[in-house]
Amino acid sequence: MMNPFYGIALFGLALFVAGVYGQTMTFRNQTFVLKWRCNLPVAESSYWIIGGTSLISCAAKCLENDTLCASFIWDKSVLTNTICALHQNSPASMCQFSNISTTYSLYEKIDTTTTAMSTTQSSPSTTVTATQDIPVTTANPCFNSGMWNGANCNCPTGCSGTFCGNCYTDCTDGTNDGLTGTAVIAYIQPVGSPAAFPVLCNFDNAITYIQYRRHGNISFNRDWQSYVEGFGDLKGDFWLGNKYIHLITTQKAYICGVRLFDDTYAWRFDGYSDFKVDSEVNSFTLTYTPFYVDSGMSPADSTKDSQNQPFSTHDQDPRGCATSEQAGWWYNTGCTTGANANGQLPFDWSTITGVTKTGMGLYY
């Protein structure tokens, strides 16, 4: 079975100007300048893509996410695992001197409106005419974190329309739209949802993530309301939020893929079809059908099976499991011991031992 958590492809044409530090690249009428090169990676970006094969694919992704990308870092240290990291604000080089290495290269957008603004300012009559043609407003009429530019809304990934009011129902819509990338933040509005909300998407494989633990630096021992609303950072470790998971899983029959990095330093996979989380009125009760590999949420001991179990946290813990396991989860009477992706790291998941990283994603 193909692991649905990999891959990217994107192509284009560009014009390069010779040079090293300060070289420019023009792509789709947007110019980028090389600000620095460094042999050390930088902190988490707004979102990133793994598996790209060219500098052009990274520039194209930055332009696709225009309102969220002021610069991008291209890492070509391993050609088969190229990283493209997009940034809302250009990070400083972590190296003492620039041009130490060609491993990590920061390209920053050049504001092509600077010259035009200077010309306009030198002619008062032109300035007046321009402000009369474009309505001036201090209010932002855009929905879903869209930004008003004086004439229309610049929409975030996932939303479109004059005021960014039309959004994807899940990440599959973005895949069908031709978007690519294995870790892109986008807005979705599931059928029946009163509002849109941001999620982490793997557009290459049409996956909507509901949980991710890359770094192990976020505590998952949270109260009921925290698990309802969600916590953490979509750029790092997070739980999407039970109310959002409920809204997503109510609209379609999803498979929940659970990805686990174990003590053999390998990624393992578990899958559950017909994955559905009920409403808060019914304590976010979980139903599913295990179908692949180790089936950690359905262990041989039926007292530890998460099937048809309500969600529990330390402040709503009738069985005491959330307190003893130090995490919110769908606990049975025997707690989990091998079926809790939110447990204290490292943990065991059925026969998968020493898990230090996790990911839970919905697809169909």
Residues in a beta bridge with 256:
272, 362
Cα(283)–Cα(306) distance, rounded to whole angstroms? Answer: 13
21: pLDDT confidence band, cut at 50, 70 and 90? low
The model's pLDDT over 28-39, given as tens digits with 9 standing for 90+, comes to 778 888 888 776
Task: Please state the rounded mean pLDDT for residues 276-303.
Answer: 92
The fold of the 206-363 domain, in CATH, is: Gamma Fibrinogen; Chain A, domain 1 (3.90.215)
236: pLDDT confidence band, cut at 50, 70 and 90? very high
42: pLDDT confidence band, cut at 50, 70 and 90? low
Cα(68)–Cα(90) distance, rounded to whole angstroms? Answer: 11
Asked whether the bond before 91 is cis by omega within 30 degrees of 0, the reply is no
Instruction: Say what the pLDDT of residue 82 is.
Output: 56
Is the pLDDT confidence value at 102 over 70?
Answer: no
Of 146-155, 277-286, 311-320, give the lowest mean pLDDT range: 146-155
The 3-state DSSP class for residue 21 equals coil
Half-sphere exposure of 211 (CA within 13 A, CB side): 25
The 3-state DSSP class for residue 316 equals strand
